[in-house]
Amino acid sequence: MIKKESNLQRLSGHAVLLLVALALVFGWRASIAGSVRNTDEPISEQPDSSSSDLAVQATLEAPSPAEIEPVSESAVGGQAVPVLSDYSLVPASNPTTYQGKLPEHHFETYLVKRGDTPGGIAEQFGIKQETLLGGNPGLGQESSLLQTGIDLVVLPVDGVLHDVEPGDTLESIAEQYDIPIEDIIAYEGNNLEFPYRLYPQTQIMVPGAVREVFVWTPPDLSSVTRGGSYEGSGVTPVIVGTGSFIYPVGSRYFTQYYWYGHQAVDIALPEGQAVYASDTGTVTYAGWNTYGYGNLIVVNHGNGYETFYGHLSGINVVPGQIVYQGNVIGASGNTGRSSGPHIHFEIRINNNRDDPCWYISCS
- What are 28-61's pLDDT values in tens digits? 455 544 544 444 444 444 445 444 454 444 444 4
- Overall average pLDDT of the 342-350 stretch: 95
Per-residue 3-state assignment (H helix, E strand, C coil) for 161-188:
EEECCCCCCHHHHHHHHCCCHHHHHHCH
Find the angle CA(189)-CA(194)-CA(197) to the nearest 5 degrees. 70
Name the average pLDDT for the chain: 78
Cα atoms found within 13 Å of the Cα of residue 160, Cβ hemisphere only = 20
Provide the β-strand partners of residue 322: 282
Provide the pLDDT confidence category of residue 313 given band limits of 50, 70 and 90. very high
Q: How far apart are CA 123 and CA 118, in angstroms?
A: 8
Provide the pLDDT confidence category of residue 119 given band limits of 50, 70 and 90. confident
SS3 content of the chain, % helix, strand, coil (to 5): 25, 25, 50
More confident residue, 62 or 256: 256
More confident residue, 219 or 61: 219
Provide the pLDDT confidence category of residue 339 given band limits of 50, 70 and 90. confident
**Res 47: pLDDT:** 46
Nearest to 253 by CA among 347, 115, 144, 142: 115
**Res 354: pLDDT:** 95
Write down the CATH number for the domain with range 108-207.
Answer: 3.10.350.10
Cα atoms found within 13 Å of the Cα of residue 163, Cβ hemisphere only = 6
Q: Diameter of the chain by CA atoms?
A: 151
- pTM flag (> 0.85): no
**Res 118: pLDDT:** 83
**Res 182: pLDDT:** 96
N-term to C-term CA, the chain = 142
**Res 97: pLDDT:** 58
More confident residue, 265 or 17: 265
Look at the domain 253-358 and name its fold: Glucose Permease (Domain IIA) (2.70.70)
| Percentage with pLDDT > 70 across the chain | 67
Per-residue model confidence as pLDDT tens digits over 259-307: 888 899 999 999 999 999 999 999 999 999 988 899 999 999 999 999 9
Provide the β-strand partners of residue 161: 205
- Residue 294, phi then psi, degrees to nearest 5: 70, -140
What CA–CA distances, in Å, run from 344 to 7, 222, 235, 308, 322? 126, 27, 23, 7, 21
Amino acid identity for residue 46 in this structure: Q
Listed by start position, the domains of the chain span 108-207, 253-358
CB 155 within 8 A of CB 135: yes
Is the pLDDT confidence value at 226 over 50?
Answer: no
CB 242 within 8 A of CB 279: yes
- Overall average pLDDT of the 88-102 stretch: 56
Nearest to 317 by CA among 216, 227, 218, 225: 227
Is the pLDDT confidence value at 218 over 50?
Answer: yes
